[in-house]
Amino acid sequence: MAVLLFPDNTVLINFAILNRMDLLERLANGNGRWCATVAAECDASARQPGLATLAEATNIFGPPWFPDPTELQNTQLLRDELASPRDRPHRHLGEAETLAIMIHRQVHGFFVTDDNDAARLATRNNIHVVRTWHLLKIAAKADWIDADTLWGYLQTLRARRRGSSSGVTDRPSFDKWLAS
């Protein structure tokens, strides 16, 4: 199967906050796919103030993949691995469903998430993990955005408590990270 980009809703929200769904589409390069739960989460998030551009995700990722009965069962097992005792029943469901589909269908692709627990679970299952900041770095290296713009994106996402690249604390460490 072709290399696919499976997003987690957190990453989609980050691109919507930056108003750069166009950049995400360019990064996906026609290979974007998503599962039904993530599509539903994205649809719900698009109704939140400032996130209307999430509606563009359907054009990037197309019709969602629905899990078959075996994948549904594995989704619940994977979700249980990700969940804490007090989590809501649907917390981590999108990540678990995506991973169940990728594992069962032997999809050779990238799981895009900023959730550390989901990233660890994906890695344990030999699935390659990519984060928001990997994608933004790829965009900068491809000259689709310049360093100053990317620095501004980092400030925007930090102000919204959306994280940043590991070890980046100031502009010199950012420049060093970008050059690596």
* E runs forming strands in the chain: 5-7, 110-112, 128-130
Provide the whole-model pTM: 0.92
pLDDT computed for residue 4 by the predictor: 76
pLDDT computed for residue 177 by the predictor: 93
Q: Which CATH architecture has domain 5-132?
A: 3-Layer(aba) Sandwich (3.40)
Q: Where are the domains of the chain?
A: 5-132
Under 8 Å between Cβ of 38 and 125: no
pLDDT computed for residue 1 by the predictor: 44
Regions of the chain where pLDDT drops below 50:
1
Q: How far apart are CA 9 and CA 58, in angstroms?
A: 13
pLDDT computed for residue 2 by the predictor: 54
